[in-house]
A and B are shown apart, each in its own frame.
Chain A
Amino acid sequence: MSTTPEAVAALPVTERPKLLEASRVTKRFGGLVAVNDVSFAVPQRSIVSIIGPNGAGKTTFFNMLTGLYTPSTGRVSFDGKETTQSRPDQITALGMARTFQNIRLFGTMSALENVLVGQHARMKSGIGGSIFRTPRTRKEEQLVREKGREMLSFVGIRGRFDDLAINLSYGDQRRVEIARALASDPKLLLLDEPTAGMNPQESENLTTFMRKLRDELNLAILLIEHDMKVVMGVSEYVTVLDHGEKIAEGDPVSVRNNPRVVEAYLGKQGLEEAGG
């Protein structure tokens, strides 16, 4: 049963159809349990966040969703398909795209070429088509270049499409990375600490941009973020991890006032002081 994006948006976030679901996911590295028995869902057309102190297992969890890690136990499904054992490229092809905490652009490629790589899964040309440069390959190449320029303009990179990625400013690199992710036509965009290194104004702009992505492209966005102002401002639902376990979830206000969350961030003593 498919519902229109508008109808989905009208529902409360917890009642929207689930796009991504992780059930009782655990990841062990030898004796270390990085993520322990976490269940989690991203509804369609929603902005949800995962927060938690450093080392809480956020990025490990992210990596299990995107296929870089295989969960030790538990299951992940995306868009109705089981993806627990899937490879990253297969998951990208299904419609999940991501950015990285420490920007991972292809430095020797231009901004445009980076965005072309992002469209890899949506392209078809193979060895033969590339060597003989068949009309189909030419057409495809032309289309992805057009779309690449469009994506770069959409994220606010103007006219510097052929600059090498390493020569772009930090903020522009973040933008190109988002454009690269968007180029794969995702249904779900995963942003790993996108405001790291940004000033308050830039963070504010990014918040606006995320809403725009949700509202104009009907994307769901999963955010890992340290900046509480961003998290509380943009998220419709927040999940808190600490020491690999889910300690709280809910709307931003209830999470912010949850004593366990405050404790995780400030420590017991901090809690007592804050409580007076």
Chain B
Amino acid sequence: MATTVKKKPLAALEDRFPKLGRGPQAVLITAIAIFAVIFPLLMDPISGTLADATQYLAYVVMGLGLNIVVGFAGLLDLGYVAFYAVGAYCSGWLMSSFYADANIHILVTGTAAQAPGVHVNFLLVLVIAAMLCAVAGVIIGLPTLRLRGDYIAIVTLAFGEIVHVFAVNGDGIHPFGVGYPLTKGRDGISPIDQIKLPGLSQFNSYLNLRPYYWTILAIAAIAIFISLRLRDSRLGRAWIAIREDEVAAASMGIPLVKTKLQAYAIGAALGGVSGAFLGPYLQIVNADSFAFSFSIFVIATIILGGLGSVWGVVLGSILLSYINYTLIPDQLNSVPHKIGLDFNLADVSIGIFGVLLLFVMLIRPEGLLPERRRKIELTEGIGAAETSFEVST
């Protein structure tokens, strides 16, 4: 006897809209969003705070990207820095005079239009970086498909290191024979074209940081939007199902390979977009930025904020960026000297970091703004079950 359940109007509404948050939470998010938009107007256009905030938002985008892989799909990726690198090099290659003899200009105006080299419109570079990183994400994801948990971490870690080593030694690698090297290694590709968006005058990161800030704020807002929408979709449910029980997920008709690779690709694309922004913003693409410790930094931001929790990741990224890039090196750096010790606090920042994470794990393992499901998983031990089986390919 199949009964049709009469749907309540409220249920119909919930079908249509993502749960952005209810009542006070929605008000809080709106207030923070408004503050985030007007914040640069309260600052000097080239103030250090604005520069920091811009950088933090770039890390928020990366945190959100990695959160799709680790938080949603449960694939522990320790090589996320690879996508930052690929994205950043996209801007290095396509928005500078790196290829000095080339004379390619695509949809660019202003100073870049006259300069030698390859100069491509920033929006186009964002798209290219996202696509290239999505492909890279799939390539890095493929060998991990038969692996689980810790083993995925080891393989992705190795890939991250491979990309870093290639970046560092890229000045000696000539992919097209005797022509241009792959990268400029530790010297870095510099300068990168300033961003020029249609309808706006060319940005200038030396005179006014506000346009850069608003650009990355918009990118972060899009990343949040994408995260929320995907979380509450067919794909989001499939990721959670895989995270909890691969055997059951596959038996319910979820193709494991495709669904996992989609997580890798989307996560990587967001990392690439953030990298492609940081290139022009920092005006240099330097191989030193792509060390393993950065992967750890990004994963720490999402663990601190709450794995799988979109707003948690936003908070975690901003908080940890502040601690790592502002509080320790700028505010507290000389504290050891003041109490008679002979070292800079920044030298031991990784150690401070570790202690901090340790405390988070002890006191609040589910993160600052925990995701509902993750909290239940932690308390009920879900997802720890034995789940190995053969995958016929």
Which A residues fall within an 8 A CB radius of B?
A: 63, 66-70, 85-90, 92-93, 97-98, 100, 104-109, 113, 116-118, 120-123, 125-127, 130-133, 137-138, 140-142, 145-146, 149-150, 153-154, 164, 166, 180-181, 184, 216
Q: Is the Cβ of B376 less than 8 Å from the Cβ of A164?
A: yes
Q: What are 24 inter-chain pairs, A to B, with CB distance below 8 A?
A: A67-B250, A68-B251, A70-B392, A86-B392, A87-B250, A87-B255, A87-B256, A89-B251, A89-B256, A92-B251, A106-B249, A107-B377, A118-B252, A120-B252, A121-B254, A127-B230, A127-B262, A130-B230, A132-B229, A142-B15, A150-B3, A150-B5, A154-B1, A166-B376
Q: What's the least CB distance linking A133 to chain B, in Å?
A: 6
B258's closest neighbor in chain A, by CB?
A89
Q: Is the Cβ of A104 less than 8 Å from the Cβ of B247?
A: yes
Q: A89-B254, A109-B240 are in contact. List 10 more A-B contacts (CB 8 A).
A: A68-B390, A87-B393, A97-B251, A97-B252, A109-B241, A118-B252, A127-B235, A149-B7, A150-B2, A150-B3
With A and B bound together, what is the CA distance between A141 and B229 in angstroms?
13
B22 within 8 A of A: no
Query: B252 to chain A: which residues have CB within 8 Å?
Result: 89, 92, 97, 117-118, 120-121, 180-181, 184
Q: Is the Cβ of A149 less than 8 Å from the Cβ of B241?
A: no
Q: What's the least CB distance linking A235 to chain B, in Å?
A: 23
Q: Known contacts A92-B252, A106-B245, A118-B252: does B5 contact A153 (CB below 8 Å)?
A: yes
Q: Known contacts A130-B229, A154-B1: does B15 contact A93 (CB below 8 Å)?
A: no
Query: A133 to chain B: which residues have CB within 8 Å?
Result: 16, 229
With A and B bound together, what is the CA distance between A163 and B5 in angstroms?
17
With A and B bound together, what is the CA distance between A63 and B225 in angstroms?
40
With A and B bound together, what is the CA distance between A180 and B252 in angstroms?
8
Query: A146 to chain B: which residues have CB within 8 Å?
Result: 4-5, 7
Q: What's the least CB distance linking A148 to chain B, in Å?
A: 10
> Which of A121, A140, A149 contacts B5, CB < 8 Å?
A149
0 or 1 for each of B1-18: is its CB under 8 Å from A? (1 = yes): 111110100011001100
| Dominant secondary structure of chain B at its interface with chain A | helix
With A and B bound together, what is the CA distance between A150 and B2 in angstroms?
7
B32 within 8 A of A: no
Q: Is the Cβ of A68 less than 8 Å from the Cβ of B250?
A: yes
Query: A127 to chain B: which residues have CB within 8 Å?
Result: 230, 235, 262, 266
Q: Is the Cβ of B229 less than 8 Å from the Cβ of A106?
A: no
Q: What's the least CB distance linking A193 to chain B, in Å?
A: 15
> Which of B234, B244, B377 contacts A130, CB < 8 Å?
B234
Query: A97 to chain B: which residues have CB within 8 Å?
Result: 251-252
Q: Known contacts A146-B7, A166-B376: does B248 contact A100 (CB below 8 Å)?
A: yes
B389 within 8 A of A: yes
Q: Is the Cβ of B244 less than 8 Å from the Cβ of A131?
A: no
> Which of A105, A109, A137, A153 contacts B237, CB < 8 Å?
A109
Q: Known contacts A68-B390, A87-B392, A117-B254: does B248 contact A104 (CB below 8 Å)?
A: yes
Q: Is the Cβ of A150 less than 8 Å from the Cβ of B4?
A: yes
B233 within 8 A of A: yes
Q: What's the least CB distance linking A95 to chain B, in Å?
A: 10
Query: B15 to chain A: which residues have CB within 8 Å?
Result: 138, 141-142, 145
> Which of B2, B240, B392, B393 contacts A154, CB < 8 Å?
B2
With A and B bound together, what is the CA distance between A131 and B68 in angstroms?
14
Query: A85 to chain B: which residues have CB within 8 Å?
Result: 392
Query: A145 to chain B: which residues have CB within 8 Å?
Result: 11, 15
Query: A122 to chain B: which residues have CB within 8 Å?
Result: 253
Question: Which of A106, A123, A141, A145 has the most B CB atoms < 10 Å from its CB?
Answer: A106
Q: Known contacts A87-B255, A89-B256: does B248 contact A131 (CB below 8 Å)?
A: no
Q: Is the Cβ of B251 less than 8 Å from the Cβ of A88?
A: yes
> Which of B244, B372, B376, B392 contacts A67, CB < 8 Å?
B392
Query: B16 to chain A: which residues have CB within 8 Å?
Result: 133, 138, 142
Query: A154 to chain B: which residues have CB within 8 Å?
Result: 1-3
Q: What's the least CB distance linking B20 to chain A, in Å?
A: 13
Q: What's the least CB distance linking B207 to chain A, in Å?
A: 36
B226 within 8 A of A: yes
The 7 closest A-B pairs by CB, nearest first: A121-B253, A130-B233, A92-B253, A108-B373, A88-B250, A104-B248, A70-B392
Q: Is the Cβ of A131 less than 8 Å from the Cβ of B392?
A: no
Q: Is the Cβ of B5 less than 8 Å from the Cβ of A106?
A: no
Q: Is the Cβ of B233 less than 8 Å from the Cβ of A137?
A: yes
Q: What's the least CB distance linking B141 to chain A, in Å?
A: 15
